[in-house]
């Protein structure tokens, strides 16, 4: 199963990326001569996505102008100019644009180097997907191959199912910013701003939140130093 529609979260303020975001959205910060939004679009196109819904808020006009230049892609804007809705609220607002089939959901601050030159990470996520057994499947990576990520880890992984770290001092796996989900998971949530994590915490104890392990090198591009690191690694 390869999702044909992708929802890309590009509305954030990018405050940790300042001063690079003083005059542009984080999605247009460049790494290796290419904007973060284009890095993610190219990854998803290579994985088989054909249609893209992208939310906008901060410097929305500038991001929309950039996306209009991507005439090779079918792009629809989910406008959050009036209010920033976080990951879950953004997905719920975009819900009428997404269809009924499972979709990609992706952050724009995730850059990675595949261990396989053929680029198999997103394919592995597709291969794992099972509509009967899961409502969301997250791409996760080990702490030791993560860069620009501050924290003790997000998840434990057992037989493909994810469990939150909760009160544990640390956990071995980090969410690396791309997942497949049923768009219907937002139905029960109220309108307004909320995190997808709230839904994932409901799904995990039910065994409906799964994870696929990425074995390459992941870079979370969250601030200028992380951007510089990622740029150097991509050039290496």
| pLDDT tens-place string over residues 17-32 | 999 999 999 999 999 9
| pLDDT digit string, tens, across residues 119-144 | 689 999 999 999 999 999 999 999 88
**pLDDT given for residue 150 in this prediction:** 77
Q: Model pTM?
A: 0.95
| pLDDT digit string, tens, across residues 60-113 | 999 999 999 999 999 999 999 999 999 999 999 999 999 999 999 999 999 999
Residue 117 pLDDT > 80: no
Q: Give the torsion sign (CA, 176, 184, 135, 97).
A: negative
Mean pLDDT value of segment 181-191: 93
**pLDDT given for residue 20 in this prediction:** 94
Number of domains making up the chain: 1
Q: Could you count the other beta carbons within 10 Å of the beta carbon of residue 163?
A: 17
CATH number of the domain where residue 116 is located: 3.90.550.10
For residue 195, give its domain range: 5-235
**pLDDT given for residue 119 in this prediction:** 67
Provide the phi-psi class of 14: left if phi over 0, else alpha when psi is between -120 and 50, else beta: left
Q: Could you count the other beta carbons within 10 Å of the beta carbon of residue 5?
A: 22
């Amino acid at each position: 199963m390869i999702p044909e529609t992708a929802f890309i979260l590009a509305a954030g303020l990018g405050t940790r990326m300042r001063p690079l975001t003083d005059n542009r959205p984080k999605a247009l910060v460049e790494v290796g001569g290419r904007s973060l939004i284009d890095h993610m679009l190219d990854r998803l196109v290579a994985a088989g996505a054909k249609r893209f819904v992208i939310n906008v808020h901060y410097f929305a006009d500038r991001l929309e102008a950039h996306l209009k230049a991507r005439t090779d892609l079918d792009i629809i804007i989910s406008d959050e100019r009036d209010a920033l809705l976080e990951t879950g609220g953004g997905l719920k607002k975009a819900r009428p644009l997404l269809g009924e089939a499972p979709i990609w959901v992706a952050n724009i601050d995730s850059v990675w180097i595949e261990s396989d030159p053929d680029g198999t990470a997103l394919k592995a996520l597709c291969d794992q997907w099972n509509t009967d057994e899961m409502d969301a499947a997250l791409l996760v990576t080990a702490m030791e191959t993560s860069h620009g990520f501050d924290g003790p880890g997000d998840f434990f992984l057992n037989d493909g199912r994810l469990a939150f770290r909760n009160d544990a001092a640390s956990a071995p796996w980090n969410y690396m910013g791309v997942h497949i989900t049923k768009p219907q998971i937002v139905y029960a949530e109220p309108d307004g701003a909320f995190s997808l994590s709230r839904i994932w915490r409901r799904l995990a104890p039910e065994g409906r939140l799964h994870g696929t392990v990425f074995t390459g090198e992941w870079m979370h591009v969250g601030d200028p130093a992380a951007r510089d690191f990622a740029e150097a690694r991509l050039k290496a």
